[in-house]
Amino acid sequence: MDKHWWKEAVVYQIYPRSFMDSDGDGIGDLNGITQRLPYLRELGIDVIWLSPVYQSPNDDNGYDISDYRAIMADFGTMEDFDRMLARAHELGLRIVMDLVVNHTSDEHRWFVESRKGKDSPYRDWYIWRPGKPDGSAPNNWGSAFSGSAWKYDEATDEWFLHLFSPKQPDLNWDNPKVRDAVFDMMDWWCQKGIDGFRMDVISLISKPEGLPDGVPGETGYAPSGCANGPHVHEYLQEMNRRVLSRYDLITVGEASGVTLEEAAKYANAQGTELNMVFQFEHVGEGAGIPGRFGKWDAPKMPLPMWKAILSKWQVGLQDRAWNSLYLSNHDQPRCLSKFGDDSEEYRVLSAKMLGTCTHMMQGTPYVYQGEELGMTNAYFDDVSDYRDIESINAYNDLTKNHGVPHDEMMGYLKRISRDNARTPMQWDGSANAGFTTGTPWIRVNPNYTSINAEAELGDPDSVFSYYQKLIRLRHENDIVVYGDYELLLPDDEDLFVYRRTLDDRQLVVICNFSRKTLQRPEALKAAIPEDAEVFIGNYAEDDRENVRPWEAVVYEIRNSEFGIRN
């Protein structure tokens, strides 16, 4: 397998609005990030992925960009950006920009021009269509943020496509001028010295020929046929030729609706497109069990199904492409609340267990801000505490149009809302968790008095210290990065056990996804020779007979006595 620095790196995602506020306006900013770079150095990560910091009217918190070459005033100035980048580089940290080019803001100059008339030179930069003869939208596609994916524009009696909010019109990638403009802009950032791109919903950029109706009655972009559309690989190869291949970058595509076969193309080992993609099956999209209301009421996946999905990706991309490893980001609830146990008793154990399960796999791990502290869902009780456009629209749509009672909907938001992960970073036990001296743009999770960076930094048993160790082990051991993966005990309903193998070394990773104390199955005991050593674990004492509540333990086995094969 080819070695690359980006395979050996650990990426940390910053959601700038909620990371650190340096000027007391209640909104995180670039100078705040610069202040906290030593914290990230201390954690040991290699790369920072910044959620969008470009100029934006903030309809979708920066994922609606009105100028790709300017910094959002809330976050600071281009000088602040340059200083942050330089300081990060001094500390050996690389910076990845969020590239949001499936759509722009409706306030972007290109769209403002496009909207002016059918003969505007920018008309064809977006996707405009006349309505159907009965006056309805050009097709039945739904927006990911509720309602139709089309907005009618009186000025020209046409509709424009927006797979997300109406303030996020989709660019027309079939127009070569759009591609030229995007590639120029990317080149401009590369010249500045940034180190890579995370590409927002990049799998959606190529729309199906003729824009046919999607699956009737279904909403969201998935049934529209936009995912992995007809020219997406062609366009990414062009991007790779014209920009990416000319720099030493890390690239990851957010690939909604991606399948294993498609991922093997996006992230192909020949390097003609991207380094890796984010797939969504294990967080519930696609292969998950759908609910009546999409993700909002989808039931939790049984562990055997979850293991099968992750294992399919591990084995399926081996030697062909490269995986990204993540449980959290700014679009997901806190992973600890979703997959672990955020009760007082098991929070720390289960946070470490989830970290182990993820970081011991093959791929590049992504840590979402606060995950390394074991931050939990915010569980806001009041709908007015929510800020996220997706949550607010879903609340309005489901309670008004689908008869979902208020209390039931609040339950969905508490479990699934993206705002759970967007509350301010918990730095210390002082007012507003040390995030701001002003009023935070979104409420701080009240548990900051006990869960915060200051409390964890010096504590050898903290989640933070454990993440430091996970990251160090990856940096020091090729087997963690490159070892082959094999699932053991596939049907076990509580234990996730897998093996990594590289040359004459093995790791056996055991994770208990329950509060139960379980006797080790014979097959598991047999996989671990007596002289195997504990590589990392979340209990102080080794117990070869049992797997304890939310336990994670990894054994290192050297030489050829590899125990049984299953």
**What residues act catalytically?**
200, 254
Provide, rounded to whole angstroms, the least separation between the CB of residue 505 and ligand GLC.
37
Q: By CB under 6 A, is residue 331 in contact with ligand GLC?
A: yes
Provide, rounded to whole angstroms, the least separation between the CB of residue 165 and ligand GLC.
8
Residues 301-330 that bind ligand GLC (CB under 6 A): 330
Sheet containing 364-368, strands listed edge to edge, beginning at the edge strand earlier in sequence = 276-278, 250-254, 196-199, 94-99, 47-50, 11-14, 364-368, 324-325
Provide, rounded to whole angstroms, the least separation between the CB of residue 93 and ligand GLC.
22
Q: How many residues bind ligand GLC (CB under 6 A)?
A: 9
Q: Which is nearer to ligand GLC, 28 or 549 (CB)?
A: 28
Q: By CB under 6 A, is residue 285 in contact with ligand GLC?
A: no
Residues 382-401 that bind ligand GLC (CB under 6 A): none
Q: Which is nearer to ligand GLC, 63 or 326 (CB)?
A: 63
Q: Which of 16, 53, 58, 45 is nearest to 33 (CA)?
A: 16
Provide, rounded to whole angstroms, the least separation between the CB of residue 19 and ligand GLC.
16
Residues 62-91 that bind ligand GLC (CB under 6 A): 63
Please count the other Cβ atoms lying within 10 Å of the Cβ belonging to residue 247.
Answer: 16
Residues in the chain: 566
Contact pattern for ligand GLC over residues 344 through 383, marking x by CB under 6 A: ----------------------------------------
Provide, rounded to whole angstroms, the least separation between the CB of residue 498 and ligand GLC.
28
Q: Which is nearer to ligand GLC, 422 or 474 (CB)?
A: 422
Q: Which residue is nearest to ligand GLC (CB)?
A: 63
| Greatest distance between any 2 Cα atoms in the chain | 77
Q: Which is nearer to ligand GLC, 281 or 331 (CB)?
A: 331
Provide, rounded to whole angstroms, the least separation between the CB of residue 162 and ligand GLC.
10
Please count the other Cβ atoms lying within 10 Å of the Cβ belonging to residue 176.
Answer: 9
Q: Which is nearer to ligand GLC, 221 or 498 (CB)?
A: 221
Contacts of 105 (CB under 8 A, 6+ apart): 56, 57, 59, 64, 65, 66, 111, 167, 168
Q: Tokens 């366009």: give the residue.
A: 235
Q: Which is nearer to ligand GLC, 60 or 371 (CB)?
A: 60
Separation of alpha carbons 70 and 245, rounded Å: 25
Q: Which of 11, 48, 100, 325: binder of ligand GLC (CB under 6 A)?
A: 100
Q: Are 26 and 441 in contact (CB under 8 A)?
A: yes
Residues 195-254 that bind ligand GLC (CB under 6 A): 200-201, 254
Residues 3-62 that bind ligand GLC (CB under 6 A): 60
Q: By CB under 6 A, is residue 273 in contact with ligand GLC?
A: no
Q: By CB under 6 A, is residue 164 in contact with ligand GLC?
A: yes
Q: Which is nearer to ligand GLC, 163 or 336 (CB)?
A: 163
Q: Which of 143, 467, 490 is nearest to 335 (CA)?
A: 467
Over the range 485-513, which residues count as b (16 or more CB within 10 Å of their CB) and which as e? bbbbbeebeebbbbbbbbeebbbbbbbbb
Q: Are 104 and 171 in contact (CB under 8 A)?
A: yes
CA 53 to mean position of chain CA atoms:
16
Separation of alpha carbons 533 and 426, rounded Å: 35
Q: Give contact residues for ligand GLC (rule: CB under 6 A).
A: 60, 63, 100, 164, 200-201, 254, 330-331
